[in-house]
Structure 1
């Protein structure tokens, strides 16, 4: 049974979320003391976190930063504010998805199921290592390692890189990436993919590999490996 931590101060919404998610056999935990979010996170050790942006004391962005400093657990943001910058900020902080309130519960559940399936249902691939230039992509540790450097990726960033490397020197369309990541492109903003790819490229810049993820305008993205052209 997957454990979900819902960081939401609207108790009516939380209770409805818990009822619906429990129906799908998820073990759902909430927050009563919003000064102890990280304590609850450490005790529960959730498989996925759902965070509202507007919270008492500290906002959801703060808790996303705190969680990301300790864990790569999948994170879905909820927001009642109609600001595109909220989605961009959440993705830049390492969130995996973003849901605008009010939302249809079936849509949120579909996103939860897709994210859990993608993150936890490829145990064989987790142990696989892939090489790209002088770097090794370690699926077990969610990292890219070179002789001198090591960067950690979120699940989305890792999966995007995996798909691009599997199709080295070939264009991977945006639709292919969206469908691979989120199963149904009706449930995801096209901008979410752009933010994830840009965040991946920025991290790869730290080890000199960002320039090898190229954007093909109107088509998609390509992972270049010059020796294999």
Structure 2
């Protein structure tokens, strides 16, 4: 039986490329994004792959998250990837931190992943040795922070890393592994044109990490090369 991937933020960049790679690898893929009608490249894949389903989902609309989970109630999910994320305003802001934007960054990057897991935990339990993977960032590493700044994004990723650590403990008996992933500095709309790697290289690496994951690695933080990142 084919394995099942559920992924958020699937309309572009890393998420879209993950959808393509997993479909090409024979997986069933449930892809979610806020505006499917604007995601032409994603919806075009429906013509090529019967194994693809697309749903409209705002990950911060928790009622909609619960409804979608209820609609898919019989579906086992082998891999749940929280890819949806938000960087927020860039540039220097010390002294004038935009609090409303900070709340938005935290909502999307730190709170929504946990609410997604809460809704889809039963689906992960139905699959054997399933995984919840959160697209984090090395910018959330306390140890790695030597340049300062980026308060909104850094703090949100540090927070979701803490969520990952706690979930790894709480879901161990369910045989659900939980990991944080750093995709690298990728040339995407969020990463910008100066990124060091392209999307395909990042996703190929991340998929390799996920393909070889087991319960001994739950609660860990890896980059796309499979190297462990300090918290």
TM-score, with structure 2 as normaliser: 0.44
- The structure having more radius of gyration, on CA atoms, is 1
Higher RCO, 1 vs 2 (CA within 8 Å, ≥6 residues apart)? 2
TM-score, with structure 1 as normaliser: 0.44
Higher strand share: 1
